[in-house]
Structure 1
Amino acid sequence: MQNLKQLGLDPEQMLADLPLFMNRIIQLANEIGISLSEYTADHIALRVNSRDIALELHKAWLAYGTEWSKTLINGRPIVVIGFDKPLQVGDWTIEALELPYPSDKVYPQQGWEHVEFVIPGNAMSIEQLQQTINTTFPTLDWQQLASKGIKVKASSPAGEHERLPNPTYAFKKDNICIKLHSHSLAAVIASEQQ
């Protein structure tokens, strides 16, 4: 099996790629018509296509933090690792890494995939979240997104013991994704432990 370094997925390589990835996130935000500099970059997520690679990454990233949770969501484990030293990138301090074990979907590119931002507003449903986003970003033109090649997906992913709904809007283009939600991952995980 190829090792993480050969695949460009070793944590040190990924951390070196982080500023470039965040620049792509900022470019996508600009295309969407939103500015995220004032909002918390709650966590960053990566995607891989093999369970073996996910296991290796899981072990490798534990050198950088502590496992906050490992929850089954849609039938596969999603691991959240809280960084011992949060990642500082541009305007943001990122506290956690989300590592989903692969499903049967194959990603064209393995590595960083999305950043989730907390848009305060306590939304408990997709409808409430859309209202919060419209209020927060009044210049966002939902109708223009498709013509720019930006796919929009609303979802309400939930772990088996979550008590705090966390509806999410995902904006995706060219293997880069921005997700907006109302509650931090730390708050959602805390709701599982109640």
Structure 2
Amino acid sequence: MVTPMLKQLLGDPRPFFEQLARGLQEHGLPLALGPMDHICYRAESNDQYLELRQALATEGDCLVEGMIAGRPIITFRLHQPLAGPFGPVPCLELAAPKPGKTHLHGLEHGEIVVPELEQLLRDYPAVPFDTRGLAQHPPELTLALAPYQLKFHLQSLADTIAAEIARNEVVPVPADYFRC
């Protein structure tokens, strides 16, 4: 289920979910690898990010907003999870554009929580996972499904955020970040 407000703000997520599901199946991966804990929407501009951030606050509770990879990202726990082929999706991540880069706006990726990343690689050796993210914290695998991506993690984004907050690791958005 998509609330009318979310559909108005983000568009219909069904084609996005369907393309991710089709991509998994084309690579021989089952839809039941694990729960999809969030999807990410990339804003086209800082102005769009600010508008969406304000509007999305009516659709969910902010878990955190901080600087990640040089730009603000905010995560909402939705009041009504999104329904899709991966089960209910409880969170939505909104990413501002990276400075100096041109981005298309819209849904960009979904993330699935799996018990073990290395086991996923062993079970599906023919799948072209991008393994560069295994060295980062938290580790991840990525599967490109142009124009989207599926990412695989060991814990939900909400749990990762809670741990980062507890360890005081969230980098705040500078007060003057959005000034012209």
Instruction: Please tell me the TM-score bracket, short chain as reference.
Output: 0.7 to 0.9
- Correspondence 1:31 to 2:26: yes
SS of the counterpart of 1:34? coil
2:132 aligned partner? 154
Match of 1:77 among 69, 72, 75: 72
Query: What TM-score do the two structures reach when normalised by structure 2?
Result: 0.79
**Equivalent position amino acid for 2:151 in 1:** K
Q: Structure 1 length normalisation: TM-score?
A: 0.74
User: 3-state DSSP class of the match of 1:92?
Assistant: coil
Question: Could you tell me which of 53, 59, 63 is aligned with 2:58?
Answer: 63
- Report the counterpart of residue 4 of structure 1 in structure 2: none
Measure, in 2, the Cα distance between the counterparts of 1:61 and 1:153.
Answer: 32
Judge conservation of contact 2:14–2:84 (CA < 8 Å) in 1: yes
CA distance in 2, matches of 1:92, 1:77: 28
* 2:81 is aligned with 1:86: yes
Deviations 1:36-75 (A, max 9, x none): 3251101000112210001111111111101000121122
Superposition deviation, residue 190 in structure 1: 1.1
**Letter of the aligned partner of 2:160 in structure 1?**
V
The alignment of Structure 1 onto Structure 2 pairs a total of residues equal to 161
- Kept in 1, the 8 Å contact 2:31–2:85? The answer is no
Corresponding position of 2:17: 22
